[in-house]
């Protein structure tokens, strides 16, 4: 009998908090190639309603030392 490993599909990315936004997007897209929309938001802004059939990652960002970086809440699918 052969064991089959089933990989977990990430829903959040706490490890990219503090990363430049573009680097975080590249990492997330590698782990979740099924993502169809990336929504980059300023702190405390609510994302727009999710369109049915869309796999969206929401990434909050702020400017730190002149660069857009990922801030909490960590990026998430939703």
Quick: pLDDT tens for 27-55. Answer: 999 999 999 999 999 999 999 999 999 99
Examine residue 2 and state whether it is found in any structural domain, yes or no: no
Residue 71 in domain: yes
Q: How confident is the model at residue 6 (pLDDT cuts 50, 70, 90)?
A: low
The residue length of the chain stands at 78
Number of domains comprising the chain: 1
Q: Could you tell me if residue 7 is inside a domain?
A: no
Per-residue pLDDT at 9 exceeds 70? yes
Structure tokens at 40: 């980059």
Is the Cβ–Cβ distance between 19 and 69 less than 8 Å?
yes
Fill in the DSSP letter of residue 11: S
pTM, entire model: 0.88
Q: How far apart are CA 69 and CA 20, in angstroms?
A: 4
Q: Which two tokens stand for residue 26?
A: 């590249």
In the DSSP assignment, the letter for residue 12 is: B
CB atoms within 10 A of CB 75: 30
Residue ranges making up the domain that contains 41? 17-77
């Amino acid at each position: 009998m052969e064991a089959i490993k089933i990989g977990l599909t990430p829903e959040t990315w706490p490890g990219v908090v503090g990363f430049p936004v573009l680097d975080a997007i590249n990492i997330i897209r590698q782990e979740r190639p099924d993502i169809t929309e990336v929504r980059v938001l300023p702190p405390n802004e609510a994302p727009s309603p999710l369109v049915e059939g869309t796999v969206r990652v929401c990434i909050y960002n702020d400017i730190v030392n002149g660069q857009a970086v990922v801030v909490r809440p960590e990026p998430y699918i939703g």
